[in-house]
């Protein structure tokens, strides 16, 4: 089986490497030709357009920034649909608006092409080690066919409902992550300002009810002042934009999420949009005139 992979960014590139390591034949494409060449050097074949990818493969994965990019790749000129044929499966692993996923699936279905929406969580580190969490929406029989391939890139692959449900689940995930980082930031800034070593606070609370994957991933980054992006603030803003749009469509007020969104927008304005979302701590540090960092030993 040949797998097409479109979108070789921070997440897509290591995901492709894991597929290659598992023995799959890949046809890859990205607007950044140098990145495409890097994955070709690792054992994949290159393609110039999404249409070319579709023409050469049975199974197509897309990993793109947002809804407009996925729509363009799927339905635009030289897009996937122009090269698609009945019986193919498209798995969009991008994090996009659920309604767009449903619209794309309906359009592909007219041509006999099945689609799953399968956004991921875990950021670059878990993309590299192949332990992503994948949240999948689509038909059970299509999911069953795709499961072994998805499992190659993931530690957890769960079908959560029909098309669109995957991205609803991802939006729920992004709410929890954003609010966790904000809460962690408030807590560590409070501890530091009160004269307590944030490293010791972290060690004391991580095994209790306040402990979380987010805390373990992000607190050390903050204390090391390492804000290299595993997941950029700009991308989290994009996700929270989709969260709030969807919440308005279904009639669910999300006041805490909206507040964190505004904090992230402020950080973007201050030039931190390409920093890791753990840089959310900077907002609170600025208010308190303190910096969270490891104590000198």
**Torsion angle in degrees (nearest 10) through CA of 162, 164, 170, 174:** -140
How far apart are the C-alpha atoms of 277 and 53, rounded to whole Å? 33
Distances (CA, A) of 240 to 14, 104, 191, 264, 284: 25, 21, 28, 10, 20
Tell me whether residue 268 is one of the annotated catalytic residues: no
The closest of 171, 127, 170 to 150, measured between CA atoms, is: 127
Cα–Cα distance measured from residue 211 to residue 203, given in angstroms and rounded to the nearest whole number:
9
Q: Pairing state of beta strands 2-6 and 45-46?
A: unpaired
Dist. CA 264–CA 234, nearest whole Å: 8
Cα–Cα distance between 96 and 117 in angstroms, integer?
A: 9
277, 236 in Cβ contact below 8 A?
yes
Q: What six digits make up the tokens of 233?
A: 């603030």
Tally of helices (H runs) and strands (E runs) in the chain? 14, 9
For residue 221, give the H/E element and its range.
helix 213-223
Q: Measure the CA–CA gap between 88 and 210, rounded to whole angstroms.
A: 45
Q: Which residues share a beta bridge with 232?
A: 276
Instruction: Exactly one of 71, 77, 110, 170 is catalytic; name it.
Output: 170
User: Looking at the DSSP assignment, which residues form a beta bridge with residue 137?
Assistant: 117, 161
Positive or negative torsion for Cα 58, 73, 148, 146: negative
Q: Distance (Å, rounded) from C-alpha 229 to C-alpha 278?
A: 9
Query: Catalytic residues, which ones?
Result: 170
């Amino acid at each position: 089986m040949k797998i097409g992979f479109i979108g070789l960014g921070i997440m897509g590139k290591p995901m492709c490497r894991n597929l290659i390591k598992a023995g799959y034949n890949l046809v890859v494409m990205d607007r950044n030709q140098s990145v495409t060449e890097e994955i070709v050097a690792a054992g994949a074949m290159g393609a110039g357009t999404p249409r070319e990818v579709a023409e050469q493969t049975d199974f197509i994965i897309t990993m793109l920034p947002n809804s407009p990019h996925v729509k363009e790749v799927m339905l635009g000129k030289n897009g996937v649909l122009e090269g698609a044929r009945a019986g193919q499966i498209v798995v969009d692993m991008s994090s996009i608006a659920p309604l767009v996923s449903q619209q794309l699936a309906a359009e592909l279905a007219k041509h006999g092409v099945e689609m799953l929406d399968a956004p991921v969580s875990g950021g670059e580190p878990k993309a590299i080690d192949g332990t992503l969490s994948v949240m999948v929406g689509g038909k059970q029989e299509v999911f069953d066919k795709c499961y072994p391939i998805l499992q190659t890139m993931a530690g957890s692959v769960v079908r959560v409902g029909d098309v669109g449900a995957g991205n609803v689940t991802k939006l729920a995930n992004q709410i929890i992550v954003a609010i966790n980082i904000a809460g962690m930031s408030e807590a560590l800034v409070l501890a530091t300002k009160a004269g307590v070593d944030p490293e010791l606070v972290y060690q004391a609370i991580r095994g209790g009810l306040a402990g979380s994957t987010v805390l373990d991933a992000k607190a050390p980054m903050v204390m090391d002042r390492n804000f290299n992006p595993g997941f950029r603030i700009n991308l989290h803003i994009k996700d929270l934009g989709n969260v709030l749009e969807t919440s308005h469509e279904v009639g669910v007020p999300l006041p805490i999420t909206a507040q964190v969104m505004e904090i992230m927008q402020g950080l973007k304005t201050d030039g931190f949009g390409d920093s890791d979302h753990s840089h959310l701590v900077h907002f609170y540090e600025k208010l308190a005139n303190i910096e969270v960092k490891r104590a000198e030993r």
